[in-house]
Amino acid sequence: MDSQTSQASQPSPSPQSPHTFQVDLRGLVDLLSHHLYSSPKVYLRELLQNAVDAVTARRADEPGAPARVRLYAEGGALRVEDTGVGLTEADVHSLLATIGRSSKRAEGLEEARSDFLGQFGIGLLACFVVAERIRVVSRSARTPGAPPVEWTASDDGSYTVRTLPDAERPEPGTTVHLVARAGAAEWLAPGRVAELARDFGSLLPYDVRVGDEAVTDLPAPWDRPYPGPAARRVALARHCNDLFGFTPLDTIDLSVPLAGIRGVAYVLPSAVSPAQRAGHRVHLKGMLLTERAEQLLPDWAFFVRCVLDTDSLRPTASREALYEDDTLAGVREALGERIRAWLTGLAAGDPERLAAFLAVHHLGVKSLARHDREMLRTMLPWLPFETTDGRLSLEEFAQRHPVVHFTRTVEEYRQVAPIASAQGIGVINGGYTYDSELVQALPSVRPGTVVAELDAETVTAHLDAVDPAEELALSGFLAAARARLDPLGCDVVLRSFHPLSVPALHLDDRDARHEQARADAEAQADDLWAGILGSLRGSAPRARLVLNHLNPLVRRISALPDPELIGTATESLYGQALLMAQRPLRPADSALLNRAFIGLLEWATHSEDGQA
């Protein structure tokens, strides 16, 4: 039997009948309330959103149709009425009873979806978070002869549909009825409903009211006419205080017409950490989308809080955040340009306001200037840096010093600043956030500027050498001092420098600290790791204690005849130099300080006959 005959004799597979997913509505409601949405309060946003979208849909067919949304809260119940497009009985079965389907996808509306707030078709489900049952009464504006229809749904997944007499709903539109479930009455209380409606819907384009109280407050504060710039600043400052709880240093207009964005950025009156994520208020076509939009601005613009309205950005499925896509990336760049232009304008025309801003937020501007050479060039006369000449801008410091020296850490700066200043060497503290990067970028915006990192070798080279004959005469003293500090990985050097009041200077660099850390780890490791760490031993220079030959105390110590006392005095100078540099003390350093202190006390109380 050939293969074809064999295959023909095999029974053909029986057709598989398709199955339909079963949805546990109670479980889905729990998922929505605890995972998709951040708070039960979003139920009101969904109701407002559906009502506004229904009005928008009707006005697409009837531009002169009424545009009203009314909310009535009383006795643990809520009624929301709109003059929107309404639904027929077929629409109810197709749209309200099918999870995930949205009227915004209905035939004939697809091309107009950008006009709608909702995009995901889960709308009324959010109401089950606060209510066990939803009742919807609706009449279609597109099918005038269709009777009103009532849809009643329970959170167990069941629903009923029935038609009503015309008198039950004479005009097109929809009314949603909710009764609070146990434990959720607070969310349907009149005061809470009014508060949420104002929060979510203050910029909606239609007439929205809770009872007789208006919810919408148009035009937006940044679009209103004012008698003058001062009046506008006062009004926007009041708006900022109402929204964010602070009075801003300044206000920046954020208008990006191509992206459909209008709003303002408020400059914080106090410094914040760059790592602190800013929360911005974003409205989508008038409806509040989120109060915590973190990715709206570049990271460097952490010194502002924004509130804006947009019709181009996409929301996530929960409609409580922005979807990260190319549009958001473009908007982020455009808003960053607006803030950058504001800074440039201050530098050109209002130096006093710029100085007040930089006194608080220089860190944010430095973050921007790292990547923006034009901004660095603009801010050179203004950005403050800690230097041996006081707090100066890079421009002023570079004018004073032919070579711009800097340190990479605050500890290194503290070591060398007093000595470098006395020697006429200008040094910038590059240990603060972004500072060393900006100093190194200085030649790119100020051609001809020489920038050099200041390390221990450079500082030592600028100190005056001691006469060779005098140093030779002190060889015994230096040998005793070096022997005492050698176990600590520190050399002893004799130099002459000012100020005279400084007896000793502790100098090291990063390579020396890394080598010391490796040596400490090797001493504490077992044989295996000690061997591995020993193989990593480098040739980096060791730390050094520079003794000031001009200091009277050092001269007296160098004249001591007792090597043991010289060693104890050297340990004391070493510890004092560490403390002056505000360096963190290792356990060995702390033990040395304690030993030196006790040793000096013993010598001070030691009598000629050896009795205390």
> Rounded to the nearest 5°, which phi and psi values hold at 586?
-75, 165
Residue 98 pLDDT > 90, yes or no?
no
Residue 237 pLDDT > 50, yes or no?
yes
Q: 532 versus 43: which is more confidently predicted?
A: 43
Exposure of 488 in the CB half-sphere (CA atoms within 13 A): 28
Give the whole-angstrom CA distance, residue 489 versus residue 494.
17
Can you give the pLDDT at residue 597? 83
Give every CB contact of residue 253 below 8 A, 6+ residues apart in sequence.
Answer: 222, 264, 338
Q: What is the DSSP string of 115-163?
A: G-S--SS-GGGGGGGTEEEEEEEEE-SSSTTSPPEEEEEETTS-EEEEE
- Spatial contact of 571 and 592, defined as CB atoms under 8 Å apart: yes
- Min mean pLDDT across 41-50, 234-243, 422-431, 538-547 is at 538-547
Can you give the pLDDT at residue 104? 46
Residues 230, 235, 236, 240: is their CA dihedral positive or negative?
A: positive
Please name the helix (run of DSSP H) or strand (run of DSSP E) that holds residue 506, with its range, or none: strand 504-507
Mean pLDDT is highest, among 130-144, 311-325, 459-473, for: 130-144
- Spatial contact of 544 and 492, defined as CB atoms under 8 Å apart: yes
Confidence of residue 264 (pLDDT cuts 50, 70, 90): very high
> Rounded to the nearest 5°, which phi and psi values hold at 153?
-125, 145
Please name the helix (run of DSSP H) or strand (run of DSSP E) that holds residue 475, with its range, or none: helix 475-485
Give the whole-angstrom CA distance, residue 483 versus residue 603.
20
Give the tens place of pLDDT for each residue, 305-347.
999 999 888 877 666 667 788 888 899 999 999 998 999 899 8
Can you give the pLDDT at residue 538? 46
Q: 19 versus 113: which is more confidently predicted?
A: 19
Q: 309 versus 32: which is more confidently predicted?
A: 309
The mean pLDDT value for 345-367 works out to: 89
Residue 22 pLDDT > 90, yes or no?
no
The vertex-175 CA angle with 174 and 177, nearest 5°, equals 150
> Rounded to the nearest 5°, which phi and psi values hold at 472?
-65, -40
Q: What percentage of the chain has pLDDT greater than the value 90?
A: 33
The mean pLDDT value for 90-103 works out to: 64
Global confidence as pTM: 0.70
Strand 403-407, strand 427-429: pairing: parallel
Q: 550 versus 508: which is more confidently predicted?
A: 550
Q: 575 versus 124: which is more confidently predicted?
A: 575
Give the whole-angstrom CA distance, residue 556 versus residue 37.
76
Q: How far is CA 483 from the centre of its chain?
A: 52
Give the tens place of pLDDT for each residue, 66-76.
999 999 999 88
SS3 track for 598-612: HHHHHHHCCCCCCCC
Can you give the pLDDT at residue 413? 85
Q: 82 versus 125: which is more confidently predicted?
A: 82
The mean pLDDT value for 177-204 works out to: 92
Closest of 416, 415, 418 to residue 578, by C-alpha: 415
Question: 553 burial class (0-12, 13-18, 19+ CB within 10 angstroms)?
Answer: middle
Residue 520 pLDDT > 70, yes or no?
no
Q: Which amino acid is at 99?
A: I
